[in-house]
Amino acid sequence: MCICLGVDSVFGFFDYYIQMAEDAFPELRKYMRKEIQVLVLTIFAFIWSLMFVVEGGLWNFDLFDRNAGHIQLLICLLL
């Protein structure tokens, strides 16, 4: 069940960002097929997640975790 939930979350993540990019740039549909968009997003997500598995990865994760959910950030988001 947890594996299916994780896979479903990844599908939702990819669908959201692909649709957001297509809504922001409508001409993207004419120039790039959806498979290429998913490939670009997959490569970006892979490179982004590499910073958490390198030698200082725990420090990066801790820094990201500490600063990602503060009340100040939430207030800026709501405003």
57 — pLDDT class (breaks 50, 70, 90)? confident
Please name the residues in contact with 37: beta carbons below 8 A apart, sequence gap of 6 or more: 18, 21, 22, 28
pLDDT tens-digit map of 31-51:
888 889 889 999 998 998 888
Percentage of the chain surpassing pLDDT 70?
99
Domain count, the chain: 1
As a whole number of angstroms, the distance between CA 64 and CA 58 comes to 10
Model pLDDT, residue 58: 83
Residue 1 clears pLDDT 90, i.e. is over it: no
Structural domain of residue 11, as residue ranges? Answer: 2-78
66 — pLDDT class (breaks 50, 70, 90)? confident
Against a cut of 0.85, is the pTM above it? no
